[in-house]
Amino acid sequence: MSVQLNPRTTHYEFLGPPGAFAISIGVPIMTYALYFGCSETSGGCPPKFASLSAVSDLVIHSVTSLDWWKGLWDTEAALIYLAWYTFCVVAWAILPGDQVSGTTLRTGEKKLYKINGAFLAFSTFLLALGVTSGIILRFGPESFTFIYNKWVGLTTASLVMAFVQATYCYAVSFNQGKLLALGGNSGNFIYDWYIGRELNPRIGSFDIKSFNELRPGLILWVLINISMVCEQATRRGGLTKVTDSMWLVLAFQTWYVADGLYNEPALFTTMDITSDGFGFMLSVGDLLWVPFVYSLQARYLAFHPVELGPLATVGILFTNLVGYYIFRTANGEKNDFRNGTNPKNLKFMTTKKGTKLLISGWWGRSRHPNYMGDLIMALAWSLPTGFDTPITYFYVTYFAFLLIHRQLRDDEACRLKYGEDWVAYKKLVPYRIIPYIY
């Protein structure tokens, strides 16, 4: 591939190599810290059940012992994780699916993706859930609590998988003929390994990035939540005793995942697929962070049940529905439009590049209305845990930072893509995420 097609990256994001290094170390540490700092082993979650100093004493005491480090590895958990990952790959390979083309790459080429996520969501995934439910009903909820009990081992196994994949993709990106991500070719090892050097790493027709983004981590998140329901049921004497808060968290997050799988083609217009390479940032995000951090609320409720009552349940349900409505209609408007249809007859402007930008409907209200919907849902997922600890609000807080930063990255990418037209678009649609506020 020529130097013109793969230019050197001259502009760093994430504060450059030191930032990339800090996040690469920080994300795994944070994942373990959320477990060790907010679990039964630490006596609960700060500040009410375990003081921060008690938690930090426990952590310092633990990490200085060799046994603690050995305890991070669990061969049985690693094998279970490997079996799960293999199942996802086999399901992708053998389930029938359509071939859809992604957006046009800067080579002018379009990659073909085999999609069967919707199929996977509503058949294999439901079948797996059906089997799981069958097992739970036949043998009792305690038969599916192993994820709760093997938490640390499974976390480590997914971290190893993320590390291996990022390193493999970085290594093969030096092979001839690879199209690199514009942001991942700086020449600095740590930075490129973190951001992702090759844009679309593949093994044959198996697209590593899109596969990881939607399947092993996202579906595992739901399985983890089911295991947390079972853990709570086991402690409280049966599934009928599971709290309303736990059912809400399970329903909201399962719906979100099913929605992502069902709308699989929409993934191909996200910035992860169109602009970012596949490095440690995405591999650890997809495989470790999503399943083991996004399930924090359910894990908390497993050992700390919260009864909401009908009024709070309806309020939280309503909040989630509002968020989901904005998220889905905004993403739908953009996807229809990018796929060449405009069913709502929305207004648009045409850029010199030829690409059109919506200026009415949700995309006329703010430049990232879908982020607003996602954030409202994030709040609705934390609220069921009550207010005894701020730790379960970690998700919505982190997510706000992630989306603000993501919006800035996307804004910069669009400024480079559309030049003056983007400046004109920003005048027409001045708000970034929340109309009249931000």
Ligand X SMILES: CC(C)=CCC[C@@H](C)[C@H]1CC=C2C3=C(CC[C@@]21C)[C@@]1(C)CC[C@H](O)C(C)(C)[C@@H]1CC3
Pick from 226, 267, 301, 316 the residue near ligand X by CB under 6 A: 267
Other Cβ atoms closer than 10 A to 117: 27
User: 3-state class of 11 per DSSP?
Assistant: coil
Q: Quick check: 429 and 411 in contact, CB under 8 A?
A: no
Query: Cis omega before residue 47 (within 30°)?
Result: yes
Q: Alpha-carbon Rg of the chain, whole angstroms? A: 22
Considering the rule CB under 6 A, would residue 27 count as an interface residue with ligand X? Answer: yes
Considering the rule CB under 6 A, would residue 329 count as an interface residue with ligand X? Answer: no
Considering the rule CB under 6 A, would residue 276 count as an interface residue with ligand X? Answer: no
Site for ligand X in 176-215 (CB under 6 A): 213-214
Q: Which stretch binds ligand X (CB under 6 A): 91-99, 173-181, 236-244, 266-274?
A: 266-274
Nearer to ligand NDP, 17 or 332 (CB): 332
Tell me, by CB under 6 A, how many residues bind ligand NDP.
Answer: 21
SS3 readout for 54-119: HHHHHHHHHHCCHHHHHHCCCHHHHHHHHHHHHHHHHHHHHCCCEEEEEEECCCCCEEEEEECHHH
User: 3-state class of 207 per DSSP?
Assistant: strand
Choose among ligand X, ligand NDP, none what residue 281 binds, the Cβ cut-off being 5 to 8 Å by kind. ligand X
Choose among ligand X, ligand NDP, none what residue 422 binds, the Cβ cut-off being 5 to 8 Å by kind. none
For the chain, the first-to-last Cα distance in angstroms comes to 41
Pick from 169, 290, 308, 377 the residue near ligand X by CB under 6 A: 290
Greatest C-alpha distance within the chain: 65
Pick from 34, 199, 208, 357 the residue near ligand NDP by CB under 6 A: 357
DSSP secondary structure string for all residues of 347-380: -EEE-TTS-EEE-STHHHH-S-HHHHHHHHHHHH
Report d(CA 340, CA 347) in Å as an integer. Answer: 14
Min CB(65)–ligand X separation in Å: 28
Nearer to ligand NDP, 238 or 419 (CB): 419
Pick from 41, 167, 270, 335 the residue near ligand X by CB under 6 A: 270
Report d(CA 104, CA 325) in Å as an integer. Answer: 29
Min CB(79)–ligand X separation in Å: 25
What are 216's strand-pairing partners? none
Tokens of 287: 């495989």
Report d(CA 158, CA 293) in Å as an integer. Answer: 12
Q: Quick check: 422 and 415 in contact, CB under 8 A?
A: yes
Pick from 374, 382, 391, 393 the residue near ligand NDP by CB under 6 A: 374
Considering the rule CB under 6 A, would residue 270 count as an interface residue with ligand NDP? Answer: yes
Considering the rule CB under 6 A, would residue 286 count as an interface residue with ligand X? Answer: yes
Pick from 178, 344, 406, 426 the residue near ligand NDP by CB under 6 A: 406
Considering the rule CB under 6 A, would residue 337 count as an interface residue with ligand NDP? Answer: yes
Min CB(23)–ligand X separation in Å: 5
Pick from 207, 231, 272, 410 the residue near ligand X by CB under 6 A: 272
Q: Which stretch binds ligand X (CB under 6 A): 101-109, 222-230, 277-285, 312-320?
A: 277-285
Crossing angle between the packed helical segments 151-172 and 16-37, to the nearest 10 degrees: 160
Residue type, 268: F
Tell me, by CB under 6 A, how many residues bind ligand X.
Answer: 16
Report d(CA 116, CA 253) in Å as an integer. Answer: 20
Min CB(281)–ligand X separation in Å: 5
Nearer to ligand NDP, 199 or 242 (CB): 199
List interacting residues with ligand NDP (CB under 6 A). Answer: 269-271, 327, 331, 334, 337-338, 355, 357-358, 363, 367-368, 370-371, 374, 406, 410, 413-414
List interacting residues with ligand X (CB under 6 A). Answer: 23, 27, 213-214, 218, 259-260, 267, 270, 272, 281, 284-286, 289-290
